[in-house]
């Protein structure tokens, strides 16, 4: 049998079928004979002395699954491209045109990217990080703990109102002397996120009496207690002022008083109703930051003073105003108050930072904001932001006093050859006084340089160490200086006509017949 089989055991035949299998055969390690009857074997790794750890095995498993998911994603991408992204697909036919228009309007944002970055990948990352940042801000537990905010209160209506010709009601507020004894009438449009309660914050009633001033402030359409305007622009804003002064019995020319963004409505009044205005007092007046008449240097020095968030808000207001709804609802119509620089994305100077910490300013600011947002409507704020940065319908240089002669037309041209052409002064002929803080970071001093260049007849009062609010809010000495510059020596209110007539009658009755 041994001769027939050729070998005695299966252990001798198995090595001839495999080569270097990694299995050792043998019994006694010291025995060299091939005819042993007791055999054992063990498996070993030829190139590893110790086995893999659990951590390494888990890491390898995760990496393998990541590769599988990446391949799966590529497969889904190819399927979407082949079935949904071709020209005949419903998605491309339905949304291809609008997406192309939006991408063209957003193409200017690619200028902010480095040259070696793919816009598609870069903006995807930016959008993802933006969403994460919004989520982090929303769930930040430390915001309430750091500064407990005061709740926004609701107040009963308290304004006087006039009916305008188009059926809207405009709310207004009066300070100072009555209409029949006023020596000067001041009309004040308010700034952004403000109301008729602002006027000249903290002005003393005794100071108004001393100069015989009647101060009339009003709510812009949709702010405070004024009805919104369906198609508001700066021309309609000037007409609202004209109807208001007629309704409240301002018979003589009146003065305009404005601060910051409220001055865009004062500029409009100077342009459209100059014959009704005696002069204007402007404190840190705002202009259109996209004004094409500004030089590159003036534009650069204006924009570099602003925070990135404020620049973004201006850009959205100019190109995509509907996107402001999200930001304004979160900041301007909250249930609780926040600091002024955070609400309006301001960078404040030293004196302004000290002022906003004063209890008097904080109390006034909160009440003014509560009145401004009382209607809970975000549309007026968006309209106001758009008015600031859009085409105003006029340029500031049109207010410059200049002589214009009628020489157009053949007859007028022939007439001018033999006689002097008919000429008249154009622009705003009244007085314009502007006060500008040199530490103002909301309306930078570079804006005043532009105004001084296009309106050389305007009187510019530069204020060292003053900010955006410090010369306007709760400064008795500042208010007195403003009135003294505008009106000279105080003369008090004018005498009532009835009292004058009574005195004359008494004097006549005492004369002997």
Q: Which helix (H) or strand (E) holds 384?
A: helix 379-389
**How many whole angstroms separate alpha carbon 407 and alpha carbon 488?**
41
pLDDT at 370 over 70: yes
- Tell me the per-residue pLDDT of 209-251, one tens digit each, with 9 for 90 and over: 999 999 999 999 999 999 999 999 999 999 999 999 999 999 9
User: Which residues are bridge partners to 197 per DSSP?
Assistant: none
At 406 the pLDDT is 61
Residues 331, 260 share a domain: yes
More confident residue, 439 or 500: 439
Instruction: Read off the pLDDT of residues 407-446 as tens digits, 9 standing for 90 and up.
Output: 565 665 555 555 555 667 778 989 999 999 999 999 999 9
Q: What is the largest CA-CA distance in the chain?
A: 178
Same domain, 284 and 328: yes
Residues 105 and 191 in one domain: no
Eight-class DSSP state of 358: S
Handedness of CA 305, 219, 326, 391 (dihedral sign): negative
357 located within any domain: yes
Cα–Cα distance for residue pair 160/166, rounded to 1 Å:
18
Q: Are residues 173 and 112 in the same domain?
A: no
Does residue 151 sit within a domain? Answer: no
Is 346 inside any structural domain? Answer: yes
Are 188 and 217 within 8 A, CB to CB? yes
* CATH number, domain containing residue 248: 3.40.50.1820
Residue 504 resides in a domain: no
Residue 445 within a domain: yes
Tell whether the model's pLDDT for residue 449 goes beyond 70: yes
Give the confidence band of 32 by pLDDT, cuts at 50, 70, 90.
very low
Provide the pLDDT confidence category of residue 34 given band limits of 50, 70 and 90.
very low
Question: Is the CA virtual torsion 83, 88, 92, 94 positive or negative?
Answer: negative
Answer yes or no: is pLDDT of 48 > 60.
Answer: no
pLDDT band at 330 (very low <50, low <70, confident <90, very high): confident
Predicted confidence (pLDDT) per residue in 266-303, tens digit: 999 999 999 999 999 999 999 999 999 999 999 999 99
Q: Residue holding tokens 């101060």?
A: 215
User: Same domain, yes or no, for 319 and 388?
Assistant: yes
**Same domain for 128 and 277:** no
Contacts of 28 (CB under 8 A, 6+ apart): 36
List, for residues 250-260, the tens digit of each pLDDT value: 999 999 999 99
**Residues 476 and 346 placed together within one structural domain of the fold:** yes
Q: How many CB atoms lie within 10 A of CB 429?
A: 13
Same domain, 255 and 300: yes
122 and 224 together in one domain: no
> Do both 177 and 127 map to the same domain?
no
Print the domain residue range for 286: 164-394+431-487
**Domain match, 354 and 476 both:** yes
On whether residue 269 sits in a domain, the answer given is yes
Assess if residue 33 is contained within a domain: no
User: For 98-138, how does the pLDDT look when each residue is reduced to its tens digit (9 = 90+)?
Assistant: 777 766 766 666 665 565 566 666 666 667 677 776 666 55
35 found inside a domain: no
CB 185 within 8 A of CB 178: no
Listed range (33-42, 292-301, 490-499) with the worst mean pLDDT:
33-42
Three-state DSSP class for 424?
strand
Do 131 and 252 belong together in one domain? Answer: no
Please give the full DSSP string across 111-171, using - where no structure is assigned: GGS-TTS-HHHHHHHHHHHHHHHHHHHHT-THHHHHSPPPBPPP-----EEEE-TTS-EEE
Q: Are 430 and 274 in contact (CB under 8 A)?
A: yes
For residue 476, is pLDDT > 70?
A: yes
Q: Which residue has the higher pLDDT, 283 or 498?
A: 283
Provide the number of structural domains found in the chain: 2
Q: Residue 319: phi, psi to the nearest 5?
A: -110, -40
């Amino acid at each position: 049998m041994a001769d027939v089989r050729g070998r005695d055991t299966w252990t001798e035949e198995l090595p001839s079928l495999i080569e270097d299998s990694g299995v050792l055969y043998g019994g006694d390690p010291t025995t060299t004979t091939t005819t042993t009857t007791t055999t054992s074997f063990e498996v070993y790794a030829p190139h590893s002395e110790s086995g893999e750890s659990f951590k390494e095995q888990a890491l390898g498993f995760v990496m393998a699954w990541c590769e599988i998911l990446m391949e799966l994603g590529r497969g889904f991408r190819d399927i979407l491209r082949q079935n949904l992204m071709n020209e005949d697909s419903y998605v491309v036919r339905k949304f291809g045109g609008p997406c192309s228009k939006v991408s063209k309007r957003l193409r200017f944002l690619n200028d902010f990217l480095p040259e070696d970055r793919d816009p598609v990948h870069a903006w995807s990352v930016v959008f993802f990080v933006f969403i994460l940042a919004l989520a982090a801000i929303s769930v930040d537990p430390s915001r309430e703990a750091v500064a407990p905010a005061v709740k926004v209160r609701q107040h009963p209506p308290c304004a006087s109102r006039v009916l305008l010709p188009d059926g809207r009601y405009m709310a207004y507020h009066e300070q100072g002397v009555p209409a029949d004894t006023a020596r000067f009438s001041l009309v004040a449009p308010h700034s952004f996120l403000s109301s008729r309660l602002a006027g000249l914050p903290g002005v003393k009633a005794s100071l108004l009496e001393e100069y015989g001033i009647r101060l009339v402030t009003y709510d812009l359409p949709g702010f405070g207690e004024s009805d919104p305007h369906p198609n508001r622009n700066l021309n309609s804003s000037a007409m609202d002022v004209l109807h208001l002064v007629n309704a409240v019995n301002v018979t003589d020319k009146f003065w305009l008083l404005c601060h910051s963004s409220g001055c865009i409505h004062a500029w409009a009044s100077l342009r459209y109703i100059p014959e009704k205005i005696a002069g204007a007092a402007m404190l840190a007046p705002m202009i259109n930051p996209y004004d094409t008449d500004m030089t590159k240097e003036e534009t650069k020095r204006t924009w570099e003073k602003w925070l990135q968030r404020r620049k973004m808000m201006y850009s959205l207001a100019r190109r995509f105003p509907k996107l402001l709804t999200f930001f304004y609802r979160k900041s301007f119509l909250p249930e609780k108050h926040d600091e002024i620089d955070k609400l309006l994305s301001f960078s404040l100077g030293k004196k302004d930072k000290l002022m906003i910490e004063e209890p008097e300013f904080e109390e006034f600011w909160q009440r003014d904001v509560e009145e401004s947002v009382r209607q809970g409507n975000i549309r007026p704020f968006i309209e106001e932001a758009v008015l600031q940065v859009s085409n105003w319908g006029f340029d500031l240089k049109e207010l410059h006093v200049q002589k214009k002669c009628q020489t157009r037309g053949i007859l007028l041209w022939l007439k001018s050859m033999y006689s002097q052409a008919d000429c008249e002064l154009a622009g705003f002929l009244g007085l314009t006084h502007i006060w500008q803080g040199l530490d103002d970071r909301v309306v930078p001093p570079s804006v005043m340089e532009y105004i001084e260049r296009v309106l050389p007849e305007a009187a510019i009062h530069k204020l060292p160490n003053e900010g955006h609010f410090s010369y306007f809010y709760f400064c008795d000495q500042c208010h007195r200086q403003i009135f003294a510059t505008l009106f000279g020596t105080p003369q008090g209110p004018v005498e009532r006509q009835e009292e004058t007539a009574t005195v004359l009658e008494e004097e006549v009755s005492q004369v002997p017949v």
